[in-house]
Amino acid sequence: MSVVGSALFGAAGAACAGSLAGLLAPARLRAALVGACTAVAGLAGVVAGVAALDGGRWSADLPEVLPLAGVHLAVDALSGLFMVVSGAVVAAVAVYAVGYAGHGVHGASSRGAQAVLPLFAATLVLVPAAASVSTFLLLWEAMALTSLLLVLAEHRQRPAVREAGVWYAVMTHLGLVGLLAGLAWFAGQVGGETFAELRAGGPELSPTVRGTVFVLVTAALASKAGAVPLHAWLPRAHPEAPSHVSALMSAAMVNLGVYGIVRVGFDLLGGGPRWWWLALIATGALSAVYGILQAAMSADLKRLLAYSTSENMGLVLIGIGASGLFAAAGHPALAGVALAAALLHVVNHAAFKALLFCAAGAVLHATGLRDLDRLGGLRATMPMTAGLFALAALGAVALPPGNGFISEWLLLQSLIHGLEVPGVATAIVLPLAVAVIALSAGLAAAVFVKALGVGFFARPRSEQAAKATECPASMLAGMGLLAACCVGLAVLPGVLGGGLNRAVVAAGVDGEAPLRAGGLDVRLDALSSRLAPLWVVAGLTAGVLFASALPRLAARRRERRRNARLWDCGGGAPTPRMAYTATSFAEPLQRVFDDVLAPEQDVDVTHARESAYLVERVRYQRRVPDRIEHRLYRPVMDLLAAAGNSARRLAPGSMHLYLGYGFFGLVTLLVVLAVGW
Amino acid sequence: MSEATFTQLLDLACGGFLLAAVIVLWRRELTAIIQVFALQGLALAAIPLLLGLHEHRADLVAVAAGIAALRAGLLPYLMRRALIASAPAEDRGRRHREGSDERRETQPVVNVAASLLTAAMLTLLAYAVAQPLVALDPTPATRALPVGLAVVLIGFFVLATRRRALAQVVGFLLLDNGITATAFLAASGVPLIVELGVSFDVLLAVLVLQILTTRMRTAFGTTDLDDLRELAD
């Protein structure tokens, strides 16, 4: 058996061992054992993925494991890429979880939650290895169910968890219905359910069948990836889950939605007409802008990160859509670059988002708060966490030298050069997509300045924030691993070049080696452009050092500095309440995007009893509801509730009526039989 | 017993069986309904008895004896006891206000004339539905098969339209009688062990319903099933 196969079986075995340990081990050892087993499973996933990215292929048929269908597994470079991402995130987060879930009070440390965690981790690694419809759906559903159980881990502590769980359960199962319908129909039309048969038969089907399959499957998978307007579960489930679970979901699970779209759209269906990809670009653009706008408005740290996930997946979808568009127009080289950019963004997003969620979890662990308005001043009390959060935020804002910058730069390159593809659609859509990416990058900068500046700098705005202490070593170690990934991806993205090329080819886009791994830099031969991140980092570091050293040198020449109190206009010393909060920081943005966001504001002025000119108290309330959710989901839910209420009239409690239903049912059936015989 | 006598007697038994079901719909006095039900039990027992004599099967004769004991003896006895329990002695002879007499099915959901018409329609329907079954193997027994189905439907109808708990029990038992008759007519009876199980089931169901009826009477003062509606609110 090859390296890939044995590593995958190792991952499954380690996960089972971890699950047993979670069930049986005494509470003292539980977290450590589960964490160790889960980390081993993640590392095995990384090993399998790296071997596959290196060009190793592996497949196995296990007909005895499942009755009727059997289990089919196959790994190519595309699966390998997603396995590496899932495995690395799982391994690092497992180390983090030992500290996070190790102490009794959290619901995440309960026996059940600990037993489910390794299974969820294993499905994250194994889903990309599925090579038949039944295997894929089985693993997919296992992933959805285990993640649902983990989301519900803290339902005793907060009632909001249950609501989030219901939303997540309903949406993930609606997604499963779409996926099941699409893939089953596809398999039925082709006459076989293994991916090899689908790959052979997919391109020959009629355009209607192909289009319907693509729409059904993509809608279901895009919902898992958190694409607007199917994102409603994401900003609920991610904040309410325990933080290590949020990190796994946001950095590994949503990726698998992207994996599915690439696998089905490019590989199994063999590409498609333009409208598929234009729709995908439109969805991605909507997700990117809407997600980051909602993130900008959010004062809840984890909710902000969840919406940012929506944004980043939107960018990835834009890349995939552009790639399909170029492939449909006969430009495989451009298609290769766009797909490579999208896949690289998946990798980068996984690295920084896992770290961000872990750091947010560390803050939650130390203070019990997620509300940015009440945090602040954590840089002094939690310096390590603050530094790690800053590093990840740098990746998320898509500015050099962060790792997000490289993939977004690649994406922009492919879109800008894509203008040479003829056609009205490309001439309109691509510049718009470029504008959307630029807008979302700008907003992302504001979002993460807000999260970092308001949350970690300034002075603490609540007692809990003031009393925070640095988190335990295992959590720091887990975050350190993720930070190392972020730095590696930012400085040396070239090492991924060969693997990305193979993944792009495995997806069925045969642009010959879109990225040239030049060791230290990334070259795009097709577009004759190059980027050397290491030199960018070196240059920036030199520039920052120079800029910060110069004033100091200048200051040294003058007289020594004098400490004086801040000028306070005579109003007394400034209190933390006067500093910017997350809400006030976002207020200008809210004004700019007033028409899009439709915030609900409420100013309540109470006058003093003596005179109407004296104000006793002013209360300001602002809510930014998710408008898409309000407009799209509320009517559907109202309709369902109305249908349920009217159906209740069928059951007024009369015994005769119930018996009558049975009687009329029987008689009607018999009449139909007698007449239709 | 000659073939012709057998057919005549079987048709007579089946006719009596169906007629008893229709009379249950017609009568309002619960005591009379129970009596008619006991007679129907006898008619039902006659079917396996005739089949057993005709086919020279001793086990069918034994089953016939068992059915007669259960459906013409034990079950009517139990129901009569329940009726006495639900309408105590001091109430007897005293006229209650209209609709509250425990011993009469005064106001069925569908009135008696319409019930009888419906029974005719249901019997027609049973004949129409059973035609393909009869066509499979036309013997005297299978030709009478629609009667069993008709009694099943009439029993269900009684169950759905009668208000008194005891009338409902009779409806349920009519339904079960119909099923048993269908089994005998179509396949000369089910295996003995199944027949025993079913009979035991019916007995238990009647005992449980008897207890529930008594409970209803103590809780609501009547055995009108419509009072159960309060439980839904």
Residue A201 lies in a domain: no
Residue B128 lies in a domain: yes
Half-sphere exposure for A32 (CA within 13 Å, toward CB):
5
Cα A626 to Cα A631: distance, rounded to the nearest angstrom: 9
Residues A584 and A657 placed together within one structural domain of the fold: no
Residue A443 lies in a domain: yes
Residue B213, SS3? Answer: helix
Residue A282 lies in a domain: yes
Amino acid residing at A67: P
Residue B97 lies in a domain: no
A643 has which bridge partners?
Answer: none
Inter-chain CB proximity B159 and A670 less than 8 Å: no
User: Does residue A401 register a pLDDT over 90?
Assistant: no
Question: Chain A residue with minimal CA distance to B110?
Answer: A656
pLDDT, residue A466, reads: 87
**A671 interfacial to chain B (CB closer than 8 Å):** yes
Residue B196 lies in a domain: yes
Residues A317 and A446 placed together within one structural domain of the fold: yes
Q: Which two tokens stand for residue B74?
A: 């034990």
**B229 interfacial to chain A (CB closer than 8 Å):** yes
Question: Can you state the angle between helices A332-367 and A254-262, rounded to 10 degrees?
Answer: 170
Residue A74, SS3? Answer: strand
Q: Which residues of chain B have pLDDT under 50?
A: 89-90, 92-99
pLDDT, residue A64, reads: 82
A673 closest CB neighbour out of B129, B159, B228: B129
Residue B94 lies in a domain: no
Residues A441 and A588 placed together within one structural domain of the fold: yes
Residue A506 lies in a domain: yes
Inter-chain CB proximity A652 and B153 less than 8 Å: no
Q: Which two tokens stand for residue A59?
A: 């497949």
Q: What angle do CA A380, A386, A392 make, to 5 degrees?
A: 165
| Disruptive mutation site among A650, A663, A666, A671 for chain B (greatest number of B CBs within 10 Å) | A663
Inter-chain CB proximity B153 and A656 less than 8 Å: no
Cα A93 to Cα A478: distance, rounded to the nearest angstrom: 6
pLDDT, residue B95, reads: 47
Residue B95 lies in a domain: no
A663 to chain B: which residues are within 8 Å by CB? Answer: 156-157, 159-160
DSSP state of A566: P
A620 has which bridge partners?
Answer: A603
**B153 interfacial to chain A (CB closer than 8 Å):** yes
| Disruptive mutation site among A648, A649, A659, A677 for chain B (greatest number of B CBs within 10 Å) | A659
As a whole number, mean pLDDT of residues A144-153 equals: 93
* Residues 622-661 of chain A whose Cβ lies under 8 A from any Cβ of chain B: 651-656, 659-660
More confident residue, A555 or A350: A350
Residues A637 and A539 placed together within one structural domain of the fold: no
What confidence category does residue A560 fall into, taking pLDDT thresholds of 50, 70 and 90? low
Least trusted range by pLDDT, from A220-224, A484-488, A673-677, B168-172: A673-677
What confidence category does residue A178 fall into, taking pLDDT thresholds of 50, 70 and 90? very high
A623 has which bridge partners?
Answer: A600
Amino acid residing at B97: R
pLDDT, residue B132, reads: 85
Cα A481 to Cα A335: distance, rounded to the nearest angstrom: 33
B160 closest CB neighbour out of A656, A670, A677: A656
- Domain span holding position A667: 627-643+653-676
Q: B42 vs chain A: nearest CA distance in angstroms? A: 27
Residue A243, SS3? Answer: helix
What confidence category does residue A103 fall into, taking pLDDT thresholds of 50, 70 and 90? low
A668 to chain B: which residues are within 8 Å by CB? Answer: none
Residues A520 and A662 placed together within one structural domain of the fold: no
**A669 interfacial to chain B (CB closer than 8 Å):** no
Residue A261 dihedral angles phi and psi, to the nearest 5°: -65, -45
Residues A346 and A481 placed together within one structural domain of the fold: yes
What confidence category does residue A504 fall into, taking pLDDT thresholds of 50, 70 and 90? confident
Q: A138 vs chain B: nearest CA distance in angstroms? A: 41
User: Does residue A1 register a pLDDT over 80?
Assistant: no
Please report the sign of the dihedral spanned by the C-alpha atoms of residue A322, residue A323, residue A324, residue A327: positive
Residue A511 dihedral angles phi and psi, to the nearest 5°: -80, 130
As a whole number, mean pLDDT of residues A26-30 equals: 84
**B156 interfacial to chain A (CB closer than 8 Å):** yes
Count of domains forming chain A: 2
Residue B206 lies in a domain: yes
Inter-chain CB proximity A659 and B229 less than 8 Å: no
Inter-chain CB proximity B122 and A671 less than 8 Å: no
Inter-chain CB proximity B228 and A667 less than 8 Å: no
What confidence category does residue A48 fall into, taking pLDDT thresholds of 50, 70 and 90? very high
Question: Chain B residue with minimal CA distance to A668?
Answer: B125
Residue A484 lies in a domain: yes
- A268-284 pLDDT, tens digit per residue, is 998 889 999 999 999 99
B169 to chain A: which residues are within 8 Å by CB? Answer: none
User: Does residue A533 register a pLDDT over 80?
Assistant: no
- Domain span holding position B131: 3-89+106-232
Inter-chain CB proximity A663 and B232 less than 8 Å: no
Question: Chain A residue with minimal CA distance to B171?
Answer: A659
Inter-chain CB proximity B230 and A653 less than 8 Å: yes
Q: What is the 3-state secondary structure (H, E, C) of B50-107?
A: HHHHHHCCHHHHHHHHHHHHHHHHHHHHHHHHHHHHHCCHHHCCCCCCCCCCCCECCC
Taking a C-beta distance cutoff of 8 angstroms, is the pair A267, A339 a contact? no
A450, A454, A457, A460: CA torsion to nearest 10:
-170
**B226 interfacial to chain A (CB closer than 8 Å):** yes
Residues A498 and A637 placed together within one structural domain of the fold: no
- B8-51 pLDDT, tens digit per residue, is 899 999 999 999 999 998 888 888 999 999 999 999 999 989 98
pLDDT, residue A11, reads: 93
Count of domains forming chain B: 1
Taking a C-beta distance cutoff of 8 angstroms, is the pair A234, A293 a contact? no
Q: Which two tokens stand for residue B117?
A: 């018409």
User: Does residue A452 register a pLDDT over 90?
Assistant: yes
B125 closest CB neighbour out of A652, A656, A674: A674
Q: What is the ipTM of this complex?
A: 0.84
pLDDT, residue A677, reads: 58
Residues A584 and A672 placed together within one structural domain of the fold: no
Whether residue A588 is preceded by a cis peptide bond, meaning omega within 30 degrees of 0, is no
Inter-chain CB proximity B129 and A670 less than 8 Å: yes
Percent of chain A with pLDDT over 70: 95
Residues A513 and A637 placed together within one structural domain of the fold: no
Residue B96 lies in a domain: no
As a whole number, mean pLDDT of residues A81-109 equals: 85
